[in-house]
Amino acid sequence: MTTVHKIALTLFGACIVAFGGFSVLNWASPLQRDLRLCDAEISSRLKSPSTYHRLETPQYYMEGTHSYVLTYEAENSFGALVQSRGLCIASPDLGSARWMDQKAT
């Protein structure tokens, strides 16, 4: 490998680090992006956010949307592990999500 190639590879790597990777990588996994937004929104509402754990692979609420039915578990303020289920609507353009708990009937 020539010196020119080494310099080019070094600059290429520095650009990736400086710009946080390629946007193509983010585009390639919209589900993961949406789930990160949903996880952050759900965690922000919990008494013990560090105990949050999504239990299942999410189901689309409506195909072709950014809406997911999620089930998770986390500790409540007494330290008991509780499960909850609801609807998350991710808004990737806004970088946020909305969470609606499923009401018990």
> pLDDT at position 49, please?
96
Residues comprising the chain, all counted: 105
* Cα 101 from Cα 71, distance rounded (Å): 10
Q: Is the dihedral of CA 28, 31, 36, 37 positive or negative?
A: positive
Average pLDDT over residues 51-65: 85
The span from the CA of 28 to the CA of 105, in Å, is 39
User: For residue 72, what are its two tokens?
Assistant: 């998770």
- Higher-confidence residue of 64 and 73: namely 73
pLDDT category at 104 given cuts 50, 70, 90 is low
Three-state secondary structure call for residue 100:
strand
Q: Which residues, at least 6 apart from 4, have a Cβ–Cβ distance to it below 8 Å? A: none
pTM higher than 0.85: no
pLDDT, tens digit, for every residue of 26-44? 454 888 999 999 999 999 9
Is the pLDDT at 8 greater than 70? The verdict is no
